[in-house]
Structure 1
């Protein structure tokens, strides 16, 4: 085989073309494509993806993508998975007004400032920058307070890295945030010696139950139990919804799944 022909085939495969999209979706018109999964194809160039003007869900995970310019025209996109690529800028996503879910874990985002372009996305509720299950992260995640910065920058966000940070179920997150801020203020005031031998935060016996605290602790356990029960109910409803969706897909003969 001529090495040049092999190179041409590789180059063609690394770029999204109308032929590729039509063959994978069965749609003749690119504007008719609503859902698209192009995972693990070695893609480097997004090519004509911007012509899929009505695209709502797009999975481009596990490729070699660096530039997102063609995505700027996808005004209807609701969910986008860009995990495990080579992306260092999200600027083109600033015009994706309907975006609600964004997964960019496993890329090259070095600073929370790289997310400034997302501030205007009023419907963005979920963003994933780190995925410990698949060992995916971004350089900005090395800063332990990056989640707080993201939440302050994009107030519409309710879920960061799969954890709810606002709304029902977010109490633990805010408790940890308050504790973290209190510790920083305490250390910053010079009231504690940071260097030297490590000392316990509180005196011995501080956490032992005292009669006067029993009612408070009892109420805390009750609240925790209520939240746990609510989570179980949400899980049950999710299982029902998934089962119903699977039955619908089986009826239509379409077994493809879109993971975001």
Structure 2
């Protein structure tokens, strides 16, 4: 009986491997069928969030037809060309980490992009970042990730971070680190100073202040709702991980229950009918 079980196990394993290889071949190019199976949406224009992580994709295929897409995760694939992404005008969050990308120019058409992750690619010089200058709403960009030892050749140039700060006036996060003195941090600091000054002059007249023009543009200190997209993406990815953990836990509990039943039946005393 044990020999039969081993042969059956090997045949099953061979079938699984064959199926996995076929699926990886199918995933090499993004097709309408793949998108519909992953999202359950029949109409590609209805897709708002798409996660295609680690599927061996090298051709973006019809991804450009998802014109209402807001969040896209293509990390851990073999992508080299981003041309189909040029039509995604509403895209807010884009994760392209761990691919083989050298040219970011097609992304410059994604006018609403707020968060971009291109860590672990082949971006070689700061000149390849100039094409992103038109992304005025960009708040977070990542070219390296020390947690996973992700990097780009351009990161060897110590001036690339300063270039990013000059290019994007609204940038708040670079390589996962919050930019000091920008956004809500500076807003809170100035607010605290104002409150302190009010308390200082509470018991006396305010000094005469000469008329002068503000040194920043109107609305500079205002908090922007666009930062919510980054937070929502983080929550979304965290919830995805929790969901996968729950599935693994349920599968493990099922296997344990089956094993316990099998052992209990095996240990039962044999009964003979006379």
Task: State whether TM-score is above 0.5.
Answer: yes
Q: Are 2:60 and 1:46 equivalent residues in the alignment? A: yes
2:74 aligns to what?
60
2:183 aligns to what?
167
Report how far residue 155 of structure 1 moved.
2.3
Aligned partners of 2:24 and 2:56 also within 8 Å: no
Which has the higher relative contact order, 1 or 2, with Cα contacts under 8 A spaced 6 or more apart?
1
Moved over 6 A (4+): 6-9
Report how far residue 13 of structure 1 moved.
2.1
Greater Cα offset, 33-42 or 149-158: 149-158
- Unmatched segments (≥5 aa) in structure 2: 1-13, 15-19, 187-227, 246-274
Match of 2:107 among 62, 68, 93: 93
In 1, distance between residues paired with 2:168 and 2:136?
Answer: 8
Q: Give the match's secondary structure for 1:119.
A: helix
Which structure has more helix as a fraction of its residues? Answer: 2
In 1, distance between residues paired with 2:173 and 2:22?
Answer: 43
Cα RMSD, aligned residues only: 3.1
Note the alpha carbon deviations across 1:48-101, whole angstroms, 9 max, x for none.
000001000000000000000000000010000000000000000011011000
Note the alpha carbon deviations across 1:116-173, whole angstroms, 9 max, x for none.
1111111111000010000001001001222111111222222101112133547xxx
Distance 1:10 1:134, change over 3 A: closer
| 1:1-260 superposed matches below 5 A | 10-165=24-179, 166-169=182-185, 255=243
In 1, distance between residues paired with 2:71 and 2:167?
Answer: 25
Q: Give the match's secondary structure for 1:127.
A: strand
In 2, distance between residues paired with 1:256 and 1:96?
Answer: 31
Aligned partners of 1:112 and 1:150 also within 8 Å: no
In 2, distance between residues paired with 1:82 and 1:125?
Answer: 16
- Unmatched segments (≥5 aa) in structure 1: 171-237
How many equivalent residue pairs?
179
Aligned partners of 2:120 and 2:150 also within 8 Å: yes
Larger Rg: 2
